[in-house]
Copies of this chain bind each other. A is one copy, B any other.
Amino acid sequence: MADILVVGSLAYDTISTPEGRAERSLGGSANYFSLAASMYAPVRIVGVVGEDYEQKNIEMLTSRGVDVSGMERAPGRTFHWEGEYDKDMNNAITLATHLNVFEHFDPKLPSNYKNSEYVFLANIDPELQLKVLSQVEKPKFVAMDTMNFWIESKIYALQEVLKKVDALLINEGEAKLLTRKANAIAAAQEIVRMGPKAVVIKRGEYGFLLYAEEQFFVLPAFPISRVVDPTGAGDTFAGGFFGFLAKNNLSHSLADLKRACVEGCLLASFTVQDFGTKSVADLTLEKLNQRHGHYLEVISYPTAF
């Protein structure tokens, strides 16, 4: 068991989906990630919140053993995202982004964070990702996420981070945008030429693909007939993925990464069943193990005839 460091957003989201609406629901990549990863291993969080951030939201993390000493409280309001989803839930439409305290975020690691072995650079400005990474002494495994905004506005900084990480976890559309490839398979092959030894492409309701050691590992998402809110599924995936690696002191062999991806995929399947962080906050290892058994039935077939 080793410690996981995450840097990312802490937010309140207002979300409309065909299944309903949630106002100022707890969100942000670092929250989804930490709730998921803390099921497996200790998590250290780096981020910024505003004066309006509720104490109970911090306590939810500390009650799960998350170290919040790197969570800065700044004057002003917490980052707020407002978005809605189209009918098939595959596309989020951003209605408003209020960066608020996030605009001047300058991440500084508390000294006890510097020996972290597992580091996740969630989707933030690649310059901040570099700043965080430079403060970690000797990480064993580093992965990052990113999005279209940084691909379009800070490609050079992004390319720098890509050279320093072991793995990139990225949405399918953004993988294609980053590589200018039309197909996820070709995009994954291109991404390893940019630096990371491994790439995980998150495909929403279609699952994920992992490319490492020149091999592909592809599996579908757990079938969910009623998706309520897909927000945070990718960050939950990353949390399960990292939690599994850190719990078992694993590194980046293909076999280890495969199992970590399945864990992430299963955790993400809970996130989409309710608004915001609710499902993953309520998740138990028992429910997760049960779903893993069910998942094996969904993807297994008799190979001999």
Contacts and interface: CB of A to CB of B under 8 A. Distances in A.
19 contacts: A18-B182, A87-B182, A88-B182, A183-B226, A184-B205, A186-B225, A189-B225, A203-B206, A206-B220, A207-B220, A216-B298, A217-B298, A218-B223, A219-B299, A255-B301, A255-B302, A258-B301, A259-B305, A299-B299
Q: Which of A89, A185, A206 counts the most chain B CB atoms within 10 A?
A: A206
Given A184-B205, A261-B301, 13 more contacts: A88-B176, A183-B205, A183-B225, A186-B225, A186-B226, A189-B225, A209-B220, A217-B299, A217-B301, A218-B298, A255-B301, A259-B302, A259-B305
Interface string A227-242: 1000000000000000
B89 A183 contact: yes
B215 A297 contact: yes
Given A183-B225, A218-B223, A225-B183, A262 B301 contact: yes
Contacts of A221: 218
B182 A209 contact: no
Nearest to A206: B206
Contacts of A184: 205
Interface in A248-273: 248, 255, 258-259, 261-262
A223 B248 contact: no
Q: Which of A176, A186, A219, A223 counts the most chain B CB atoms within 10 A?
A: A223
A224 interface: yes
A303 interface: yes
Interface in A1-35: 18
Interface string A271-305: 00000000000000000000000001111011101
Contacts of A215: 297-298
Contacts of A305: 248, 259
